[in-house]
Structure 1
Amino acid sequence: MRDNRRRLVVIGNGMAGARAVEEILARGGAKQFRITMFGDEPYGNYNRIMLSHVLSGDEDDDAIFLNPLSWYRDNGITLHAGVRAKRIDRFTKNVFSSDGRVTPYNTLIIATGSRSHMPPMKGLYTPGGSVKQGIFGFRTIDDTRKMLAYAQHEQHRHAVVIGGGLLGLEAASGLRRYGLEVDVVHSGGHLMSAQMGPDGGAVLRRSVQALGIGVYTGSRTTAVLGTDKVAAVRLRDRSDIECDMVVMAADIRPNVDLAVLSGLPVERAIVVDDSLRVQDEDDIYAVGECVQHRGQVYGLVAPLWEQAAVLANHVTGADTSAAYHGSRTATKLKVAGIEVASMGLQGPELETDEQIVFSEPSRGVFKSIVVRDNKMVGATLLGDSRKVAFLTQAFDRGLPLPEERLGLMFDLGTPGQEVGVAELDDDAQVCSTETGTKTHILGFLEQIPVGEGRAFAVDGKQVAVFRLRNHTLRAVSAVCPHRGGPLADGTIDGQVVMCPLHQHAFDLATGCSTTGAGALQSYRVRLDREQNLVLETVPV
């Protein structure tokens, strides 16, 4: 029987490309399209955010896969894993790939993501043209595996990480766990300069150094020394640093070589409109870190998810009025074990802007909030994230703020760590309950660090168990009902967990959303006499 479905080709099998396909399938795309995907890596789609957890040993690499190879088969998707798309012929509508294949398309999606950037310096390559032994990027699962193997060699004792942003500090923290001496070299004046100002950067530097990590800011690496393998790095204005390995984490760049070669419009990245359609192209879309939308390029997960939903609406025809207007980015994460939240402006830009600052370097705490026209336009929280749920919602919604500005940082009449702004607006909360009982032993308590969560597969469902700082345990369904975010990786503020994708907040005791999302199922969880976690699969 002839297959009359249109041909959909997706170039890129990372988080953005796979998410776009998931959204298309959710809108009935399997009935409309024969789907073919190309991916540079010989694997299914995995959570790149979790690579730092693999490096530190907190997660096995097989635990971070989002879509195993079986998922593609089950959904009728042809995946060319480990095959690179080399060129697009826009006129004949064909994709030419590294295995010699020519694949026709009716609709094309480009999701080539980004790559580690090797900054210009001497000594990166051997005379034969290969990257010198001991030099690593930190972008893929293979990069991470190679770093792990190299770091655990008994003769390798000192690593230098080039780049003091999020990626660099995560690499430094992970390598430190294997007993290596680690130094971070950052060309900016302070650490994480893209997320915070110099005052916050100074407090962060002190906290990072307390972990036994050396920090060199305002320093540029000019060369990697050593004939066949790394022996040292040379700095422009300081003494050489002897080392056995170098991790390049200074920058990532959108992967646009394919687009440039194929004659597509590229500025900082591939230029798209509000439907994620490539400029001046009727049948080519792009999504993710390779995209430039209204002059902005995004490197966070939440904007990618939002883009994928709009793209899928247009590709399937489910909602051709859907439009992507950009994203207000707010990040909450742990960097080298240090809690950091950042959103909007780092500091005041107008004379009328207000800034509230609290700094306690001895405890590694720094807080800065920027207010304009009685609305929060920026915040940085370091070392104390108890108010992050409240602040994130205030930032996202542009809500009026309390006259007592200190209440934005401390519990002086504003919602506490377990309450969100949504509750101030009388938003309804809907909770679900069921009956019945069944118990499951999930393993020892100590597998969950205090203040964090872990996801477990129970009766075919994902359940997130949280170990709170007040020594209580909570368990809820692990998948955010909004866009499927992994709640076990979310931020815990008191009795509230906030999804890492779109910052929807949920009460861990009831499963109710404080931000208008659907409710989670909540479960009873307790300890037995041997300190095993015991879960009852009947929602409370």
Structure 2
Amino acid sequence: MTQKLVVIGAGMASGRALEYLTETAPGAFDITLFNGEPRGNYNRLMLSPVLSGEKTYEEIVTHDDAWYADRGIATRFGEPVTGIDRDRGVVLSAGGETPYDRLIVATGSAPFIIPVPGKDLPGVITFRDLDDTNAMIAASDGGGRAVVIGGGLLGLEAAAGLAILGMEVTVIHLMGHLMERQLDPAAGYLLQKDLERRGIRVHCKGATKAILGEDRVEAVALEDGTVYPADIVVMAVGIRPETRLAKEAGIAVNRGIVVDDRMVTSDPAILALGECVEHNGQLFGLVAPLYDQAKVVAATLLDDEAAFRPVQTATKLKVTGVNLFSAGDFADKEGRDDIVFRDPGRGIYKRLVLEGPRIVGAVMYGDTADGTWFFNMIKDGADVTDLRETLIFGPSAGGAKADPLAAIAAMPDSAEICGCNGVCKGTIVETIKGGAQTLDAVRAGCKASASCGTCTGLVEQLLALTLGDDFARPVAQPMCKCTDHTHEDVRRMIRSMELKSIPAVMQELGWKTSGGCHSCRPALNFYLLAEWPLEYHDDRQSRFVNERNHANIQKDGTYSVVPRMWGGVTTPDELRAIADAADKYEVPMVKVTGGQRIDLLGVKKEDLPAIWADLNAAGLVSGHAYSKGLRTVKTCVGTEFCRFGTQDSTGLGIRLEKVLWGAWTPHKVKLGVSGCPRNCAEATCKDVGIVCVDSGYQIGVGGAAGMEVKETEPLAQVATEQEAIDITVAFVQLFRETGRYLDRPHKWMSRVGLDWIRERVMDPGTRQDLVARFEISQSVYRKDPWAEHARAEERDKWAAMADLTRMEAAE
């Protein structure tokens, strides 16, 4: 029976949730959508262009009437909900009672009205919706005077729009500079000067005392005695979560409606999202986290695993044609340094706040082109020691566009270029003059850029500066014949351009071959899956044949079946189930693998669904022996039985495998955990190997024992098992996020450098972020492929085919 879903509020957050819900499971719910406004979802971020006349309302509509009708959504616009009866499962409105099985509260926020005399006079307007915008447009007819109370983003957008409409505008702001939440005082000052050049008066440190007038607004009086005449007053001093309905219904409310990680309120039948919610004590006003909430709401309603994990966001704004950018924490604190660039002639200001070797905050005014680069450095906790001399100029490290080598040329020979290996500019130049004419030759000659790689750009600039026209910048190999882009370019553009499907990537990046090829489609499928785990749906047809069939094809066309044995440990019941399956399906070979598992070889394709149904029933899940993902965690018996064991290697191996299983990676990943330096589990030639010692755990990475034989390189030594698990998970997630498809970890390590990896996984904050992102992905993809409900129909079909085949054979 179809469940009844009622949604209160047709804003941007609930609109995105309905998109996910109806695209993922059309017809799963009978949906009724209420909205207090007499219209559906539109882009509130675009109200400023509507106010200024640059756009019309029709141009900012996100979901029109046809969109709702096509999805069978019953709309009740202009009909505010007046109450929620949780006991009877109904919402109350002017149209009567509407029953629900599940309810979404997306009531947004309400503008804060300063409690001063005159606040209720006609002509006092807020700036939250289309009706407010239309009221301002109507009031501006014929010019007049407007006072905007509030110098944040919303207030300045209102001021700019009213000025364009011909009004004389004054902005009153309580704080010492405009947009104090996004800008530091210097950037706020530049913004104020720019606004004043555009004819907008700005009064900072202005406390409103009263709004004056008889029948309507006439003026605004400040505490300092200043009086500004006004025909309209726009209140834009902030917002508060709209929680009235939830509070009256007895739902838990603090500052906002309290929700858990799955966006569920204190009533398990009721979810909430948007500006009205509070999650772990935090409120949300930017659109990016609201859209993340929408994904989680849709997943929760469909009983899929998902969790809301707020991530750090940057603010990139455009007010009256001026570019603004801010990210991180730029407050003045002890132990911090500033790097500041000012160009008054061009109206450009940039400030980076450093704490030790890392950027913790960035503020940019006028030129924000490098904002994303700085933001990524803040998120990654990147060490910028090597780049400090030219850091403020961005990734070009040149500053002046006319001569991008000017900054590097001006550096003294003693300036350190490669911090990892302590190589200065003079040493690199001497190496180049000595015959090193390529980046690899410089790395071999003096080790500059041979470790983390963050100084590669500077080394290449020194090559270009020293060799002139003789320097041939290396040409990176494209990912396949369908494109000129490298793997790394494609990954960056998927992220920066928010491309979320294979067709979108091919369209936006100019793929040469329609539909791609056998090389690029699997790579794109993985990159999209790794970047957007909550939004992208795995494209089965873009996987290799083994991954499509969830089993390894053999040379005779049969398949191998490898159940997972956690840490190489099994039970008599599991062995009986494997033996029964081998008998029932006439498996010609049963073999113990090198990864401490049992392989059933020679299984017919048509028998795969049935044999896995039997194995699943016995509690066995796929060993993913066919996947680009975690294969095995090999262990020895450790302290439980071995007289030499120093730690519980078996238990650690099992815990690691249960955390990591099902995770797709650029290539297969194998682990080993040895209980002592005797290394019986061969941990020192695995992608990740842990050797237990008396004092804790030695973690090595980048080993191999296939066509290339490599010993692991030491990553870390830690005292606790949890640290070993977290570092391993962070390493795997970093590999997932930055590895090139079909490269094993040791090849990836040779490209990015072990120091670069160690810096990230050993930093507690960065490691925690990596683990959190891994867990989000696992909430979607940690599933046994044969046990998924979505494959039930396919299994039934294959089982019927298998029965038919057996009957034909019997005849």
Pairwise TM-score range, normalised by the shorter structure = 0.7 to 0.9
Query: 1:303 maps to which residue?
Result: 289
Say if 2:7 is the partner of 1:10. Answer: yes
For residues 114 and 311 of structure 1, the distance between their equivalents in structure 2, rounded to whole angstroms, comes to 19
State whether residues 389 and 417 of structure 1, in contact with CA within 8 Å, keep that contact through their aligned partners in structure 2. no
Say if 2:381 is the partner of 1:398. Answer: yes
Query: 2:788 maps to which residue?
Result: none
Query: 2:150 maps to which residue?
Result: 163
Query: 2:102 maps to which residue?
Result: 107
Q: Structure 2 vs 1, CA of residues 397 and 24 (structure 1 numbering), >3 Å: closer, same or farther?
A: farther
Query: 2:350 maps to which residue?
Result: 367
State whether residues 79 and 95 of structure 2, in contact with CA within 8 Å, keep that contact through their aligned partners in structure 1. no
Deviation at 1:140, TM superposition (A): 0.5
For residues 179 and 242 of structure 1, the distance between their equivalents in structure 2, rounded to whole angstroms, comes to 16
Indicate which of 236, 239, 261 corresponds to 2:223.
236
Q: Structure 2 vs 1, CA of residues 5 and 142 (structure 1 numbering), >3 Å: closer, same or farther?
A: same
Q: How does 1:19-418 map to 2 (within 5 A)?
A: 19-28=16-25, 30-97=26-93, 99-125=94-120, 132-152=121-141, 154=142, 156-278=143-265, 280-317=266-303, 319-320=304-305, 322-349=306-333, 351-401=334-384, 403-411=386-394, 413-414=396-397
| Equivalent residue letter for 1:94 | V
Deviation at 1:8, TM superposition (A): 0.9
Query: 1:440 maps to which residue?
Result: none
For residues 19 and 135 of structure 1, the distance between their equivalents in structure 2, rounded to whole angstroms, comes to 32
The count of residues paired between Structure 1 and Structure 2 equals: 437
Q: Structure 2 vs 1, CA of residues 31 and 159 (structure 1 numbering), >3 Å: closer, same or farther?
A: same
Deviation at 1:246, TM superposition (A): 0.9
Deviation at 1:44, TM superposition (A): 1.7
State whether residues 184 and 214 of structure 1, in contact with CA within 8 Å, keep that contact through their aligned partners in structure 2. yes
When Rg is computed on C-alpha atoms for both structures, the one with the higher figure is 2
Where does structure 1 lack aligned partners over 5 or more consecutive residues?
A: 126-131, 434-475, 488-503, 520-540
State whether residues 390 and 399 of structure 2, in contact with CA within 8 Å, keep that contact through their aligned partners in structure 1. no
Deviates more, 1:37-46 or 1:116-125: 116-125
- Give the number of the structure whose residues are more often helix, by fraction: 2
Q: How does 1:477-516 map to 2 (within 5 A)?
A: 480-482=498-500
Where does structure 2 lack aligned partners over 5 or more consecutive residues?
A: 402-452, 458-475, 484-493, 513-519, 532-811
**TM-score using structure 2 length:** 0.50
For residues 62 and 205 of structure 1, the distance between their equivalents in structure 2, rounded to whole angstroms, comes to 32
SS in 2 for 1:403: helix
Residues 9-54 of structure 1 show CA distances to partners (whole Å, capped at 9, x for unaligned) of: 11110001111111111221x3321111111111121000000011
> Following superposition, which runs of at least 4 residues in structure 1 exceed 4 angstroms of deviation?
411-418, 421-433, 506-513, 516-519
Residues 107-130 of structure 1 show CA distances to partners (whole Å, capped at 9, x for unaligned) of: 1111111122211111122xxxxx
SS in 2 for 1:31: coil
| Equivalent residue letter for 1:13 | A
Deviation at 1:480, TM superposition (A): 4.2
Q: Structure 2 vs 1, CA of residues 417 and 54 (structure 1 numbering), >3 Å: closer, same or farther?
A: farther
Deviation at 1:388, TM superposition (A): 1.2
Residues 246-272 of structure 1 show CA distances to partners (whole Å, capped at 9, x for unaligned) of: 111111111111111111111111111
For residues 118 and 480 of structure 2, the distance between their equivalents in structure 1, rounded to whole angstroms, comes to 60
For residues 340 and 253 of structure 1, the distance between their equivalents in structure 2, rounded to whole angstroms, comes to 25
State whether residues 391 and 408 of structure 1, in contact with CA within 8 Å, keep that contact through their aligned partners in structure 2. no
For residues 279 and 149 of structure 2, the distance between their equivalents in structure 1, rounded to whole angstroms, comes to 29
For residues 50 and 352 of structure 2, the distance between their equivalents in structure 1, rounded to whole angstroms, comes to 33
| Equivalent residue letter for 1:7 | K
For residues 400 and 249 of structure 2, the distance between their equivalents in structure 1, rounded to whole angstroms, comes to 51
For residues 299 and 480 of structure 2, the distance between their equivalents in structure 1, rounded to whole angstroms, comes to 28
Query: 2:470 maps to which residue?
Result: none
SS in 1 for 2:340: strand
| Equivalent residue letter for 1:282 | P
State whether residues 387 and 408 of structure 1, in contact with CA within 8 Å, keep that contact through their aligned partners in structure 2. no
SS in 1 for 2:258: strand
| Equivalent residue letter for 2:499 | P
For residues 9 and 454 of structure 2, the distance between their equivalents in structure 1, rounded to whole angstroms, comes to 37
Computed over aligned residues only, the root mean square deviation of the Cα atoms, in angstroms, reads 3.4
For residues 400 and 272 of structure 2, the distance between their equivalents in structure 1, rounded to whole angstroms, comes to 39
Q: What is the percentage of aligned positions where both structures have the same residue?
A: 40
State whether residues 340 and 392 of structure 2, in contact with CA within 8 Å, keep that contact through their aligned partners in structure 1. no
SS in 1 for 2:386: coil
Residues 379-434 of structure 1 show CA distances to partners (whole Å, capped at 9, x for unaligned) of: 1111111211211222334333352225332147549999xx9999999878977x
- Give the number of the structure whose residues are more often strand, by fraction: 1
State whether residues 52 and 174 of structure 1, in contact with CA within 8 Å, keep that contact through their aligned partners in structure 2. yes
For residues 400 and 328 of structure 2, the distance between their equivalents in structure 1, rounded to whole angstroms, comes to 21
Deviation at 1:483, TM superposition (A): 9.5
For residues 401 and 109 of structure 1, the distance between their equivalents in structure 2, rounded to whole angstroms, comes to 45
Q: Structure 2 vs 1, CA of residues 167 and 401 (structure 1 numbering), >3 Å: closer, same or farther?
A: same
Query: 1:459 maps to which residue?
Result: none
